Amino acid sequence: MRFVSTRGGDAVSLDTALLEGIAPDGGLYVPEGVPSIPVGEFSSADSLIDVAEIFLSPFFAGSTLAADLHNILAETFCFPLPVSPLSIGDGNVGLLELFHGPTAAFKDVGAGFLAACISRLDDASTGPLTILVATSGDTGGAVAAAFNERTGIRVAVLYPDGRVSARQAQQLTCWGNNVLSLAVQGTFDDCQALVKSAMADPEMSAEHRFSSANSINIGRLLPQAIYYAYASLTHFSSSGRPLNIVVPTGNLGNAVACILARQVGLPIGDIVVATNANRLIVDYLKGQEWHARDSIQTHASAMDVGNPSNMERLRSLFGEGDALNDVVNAVSIDDVAIEEEIRQTHAETGIAICPHTATAVRAWRLLDERVRRDRDWLLVATAHPAKFETIVEPLIGEPVPLPQELQRIMKLPSRFTRLNPDIAALSEALRSGYNGDLSKAG
Ligand SMILES: *Cc1c(COP(=O)(O)O)cnc(C)c1O
């Protein structure tokens, strides 16, 4: 399988798409043609990894990684992704728990898979590869965890000092020697601008061999289709019915993965994306023009995206404007509704949900009663509520226990270097930071 940029140009191999992340023309890589796989082909698949192998084989055809796909998948899917029943309102839905990985959010799946691929692709003989990540909180932790202790690869995580939660800060600064945590004295935009200038700087690029692991990399998207494939096949084999799915959405990555799984032929019915108050997707599907907006801060902070980058993928795969209404529905859930939903779900079930997950649950509640009752629904839980305890705990009136993985991380020593937001300081930090002296923590 070859991959093309959403903006045209020549097709490249999967290996190139994985290493480049973003296409040279600024576009996003999409498969040249989406394969179809009849449901029957999965009949012998018993585990998530079996399903993943069948699903991903056509995408990996011709890649140097094809022979190693099983091992890549075994490394990626090393934590459970269970569906638990949720009895809310007048219905019975499934909750797809994507938060049992190292940093307790679904990005662990994509980051883990990408790390497993890149560590196999890179020829470390020319010196280590440096993965540069700007993060507003969550992505950086998942990427650092995924690349932690992989030989021949270093990670530099840039985050805005003082603008991430205490638990997020710990998840950004607790890793091993190949992870450099840079507490930028500025905003998330400053972090992003620094990463962009560093990558555009030929000297720095040659010295550090930069690569990115951001969410537009096709290697983050593909593995996310797997949990939808597995959940829908499991449901279909026990009920003979398709699964309808609600996905909390920021950059549309997780949602495009779900749409891709349906396109390949998995038994998935309606797909609803739930945004927070950043409602560009919703307004676009209602007929407004697509114009990037400033992002609005909400309780579901990992979805505070003013210009969702994966819309470009969606349009390139499925068409513009109106045509997309057949592909996906979108609902915007504001902070008031998020708060109400966290309270209500807890009151009805005793289960605490995170603010992102709450957008999906509320979007489901807002569906037509018949649509809710007559179809089978899966709601996606993207993060563990303990990651957002300052929002969730006051609403439900009780503490949310930390899951084991987060307990472990919280006890590790924290190390970071403060960084002024200028390129010379970054260059200096990248040069000196890895020589065993990472611990300028203050
Ligand atoms: C990143 C993130 C989202 C949004 O996912 P996209 O793929 O960007 O749509 C939702 N919830 C959580 C917890 C996240 O970390």
In DSSP notation, 9-72 reads EEEEEHHHHHHHSB-TTS-BEEESS-----GGGGTT--SHHHHHHHHHHHHHTT-TTGGGHHHH
Share of the chain above pLDDT 90, in %: 81
Report pLDDT digits (tens) over 341-358: 999 999 999 999 999 999
Confidence bin at 435 (pLDDT 50/70/90) = very low
Testing ligand 1's pocket by substitution, the residue of 107, 260, 275 carrying the most ligand atoms inside 8 A of its CB is 107
Decide whether any atom of ligand 1 lies within 6 Å of the 141 Cβ: no
* pLDDT value at 439 more than 50: no
Question: CB 12: neighbour CB atoms within 10 A?
Answer: 19
Q: What is the largest CA-CA distance in the chain?
A: 62
* pLDDT value at 442 more than 50: no
Decide whether any atom of ligand 1 lies within 6 Å of the 303 Cβ: yes
pLDDT of residue 441: 38
- Tell me the mean pLDDT in the region 54-68: 97
Q: Could you give the C-alpha distances from 249 to 25, 159, 225, 313, 426, in angstroms and in order?
A: 26, 22, 15, 14, 32
CA of 397 to the centre of ligand 1 (A): 26
pLDDT of residue 436: 44
Decide whether any atom of ligand 1 lies within 6 Å of the 252 Cβ: yes
State whether residue 368 is helix, strand or coil: coil
pLDDT of residue 206: 87
Query: Backbone phi, then psi, for 6, in 5-degree steps?
Result: -60, -15
- Tell me the mean pLDDT in the region 226-249: 97
Q: Which residue has the higher pLDDT, 309 or 214?
A: 309
CA-based R_g, the chain, Å: 21
**pTM of the model as a whole:** 0.94
pLDDT of residue 310: 94
pLDDT of residue 76: 97
- Tell me the mean pLDDT in the region 263-275: 98
Query: Backbone phi, then psi, for 304, in 5-degree steps?
Result: -80, 80
* pLDDT value at 218 more than 70: yes
Q: In what order do the strands lie in the sheet with 377-381?
A: 83-88, 91-97, 377-381, 243-248, 268-275, 329-332
Q: Which residue has the higher pLDDT, 295 or 350?
A: 350
pLDDT of residue 212: 81
In terms of Cα–Cα distance, which of 441, 420, 436 is closest to 160? 420
Q: What angle do CA 402, 408, 414 make, to 5 degrees?
A: 110
- Tell me the mean pLDDT in the region 232-245: 97
Q: What tokens does 319 get?
A: 């068409």
State whether residue 136 is helix, strand or coil: coil
Q: Which residue has the higher pLDDT, 205 or 68?
A: 68
Mean predicted lDDT score pLDDT of the chain: 93
Decide whether any atom of ligand 1 lies within 6 Å of the 250 Cβ: yes
Distance, CA of 144 to CA of 416 (rounded, Å) = 13
Element (H, E) at 152: none
**In this structure, are strands 2-5 and 8-13 parallel, antiparallel, or unpaired?**
antiparallel
Q: What tokens does 105 get?
A: 């959010």
CA of 66 to the centre of ligand 1 (A): 28
Report pLDDT digits (tens) over 19-59: 888 888 989 999 999 999 999 999 999 999 999 999 999 99
* pLDDT value at 440 more than 70: no
Decide whether any atom of ligand 1 lies within 6 Å of the 140 Cβ: no
* pLDDT value at 299 more than 70: yes
Q: Could you give the C-alpha distances from 372 to 187, 229, 377, 381, 382, in angstroms and in order?
A: 41, 21, 7, 18, 21
Report pLDDT digits (tens) over 165-213: 889 999 999 997 899 999 999 988 899 889 989 988 989 988 998 888 8
- Tell me the mean pLDDT in the region 424-435: 84
Helix, strand, coil % over all residues of the chain, rounded to 5: 50, 20, 35
- Tell me the mean pLDDT in the region 91-116: 95
Confidence bin at 124 (pLDDT 50/70/90) = low
pLDDT of residue 376: 96
Confidence bin at 434 (pLDDT 50/70/90) = low
* Tally of CA atoms within 13 A in the half-sphere of 33 that contains its CB: 6
State whether residue 104 is helix, strand or coil: coil
Does residue 249 contact residue 274 with C-beta atoms inside 8 Å? yes
pLDDT of residue 437: 40
Decide whether any atom of ligand 1 lies within 6 Å of the 257 Cβ: no
The minimum-distance atom of ligand 1 relative to the CA of 383 is 13
CA of 435 to the centre of ligand 1 (A): 34
Question: CB 45: neighbour CB atoms within 10 A?
Answer: 17
